[in-house]
Homo-oligomer: A and B are copies of this chain.
């Protein structure tokens, strides 16, 4: 059996509302949450400003007071989502040493965050192409950061622990995918818990890259 995983517990226990507390005033936050809900059910293109205003119990004109256009709402939501995922992973990895342990904790934390925040994650992943290139910089940097982190641990693992990685970039993408794909199908109705699916992904990632006979610890 695996040891306890407080880093997974911490991510699961975090109140989703806390992601939005820095957004002020209250009416801006209410609009963002209404937009998240509308984008999640109707898609970015399908959700009109009127629809978002109605969900926020505000007038369409009020949307433009707080946000210049619908795309500004999407940009803010995407930034909050990526920043939150990055912080969750960084916090989980804080003080963790050694490529195997770090890869496992990455896979667990990344999966736990995406399952716990599946609706926000779904909008962040599926509506990303709606964001114009010029507004992508901050978000693209965080996304590259996740892949760079995984590639770095894979490289260290090859040198220090004999990892077998035939295609470094491709394997890093697969490892990142294992967490992201959860936003497509996970919901709390599922029989599997967030902790179980996080641990399974941590285990499978190690089995993918570690030399035979060393993955059981």
Contact = CB atoms under 8 A, between A and B. Distances in A.
Nearest to A215: B212
A164 B204 CA distance: 11
Interface in A161-200: 164, 166-167, 169-171, 173-174, 177-178, 180-181, 184-185, 192, 196-197, 200
Given A43-B43, A43-B46, A174-B201, A196 B167 contact: yes
A114 B201 CA distance: 22
Given A181-B180, A184-B125, A184-B180, A204 B171 contact: yes
A201 B166 CA distance: 11
A209 B185 CA distance: 23
B43 A170 contact: no
A140 B200 CA distance: 25
Interface in A63-94: none
A45 B47 CA distance: 8
Nearest to A164: B207
A208 interface: yes
Contacts of A197: 170
Contact of A212 (B45, B203, B212): B212
A170 B184 contact: no
A181 B177 contact: yes
Most B CB contacts (10 A, CB to CB) among A126, A171, A192, A212 go to A212
A114 to B, nearest CB: 12
B208 A170 contact: no
A42 interface: yes
A126 B43 CA distance: 10
Contact of A42 (B45, B171, B181, B208): B45
Nearest to A190: B173
Contacts of A196: 167, 170
Closest 9 pairs between A and B when the two form their complex, measured CB to CB: A45-B46, A212-B212, A43-B43, A46-B46, A42-B45, A181-B181, A177-B181, A212-B213, A170-B200
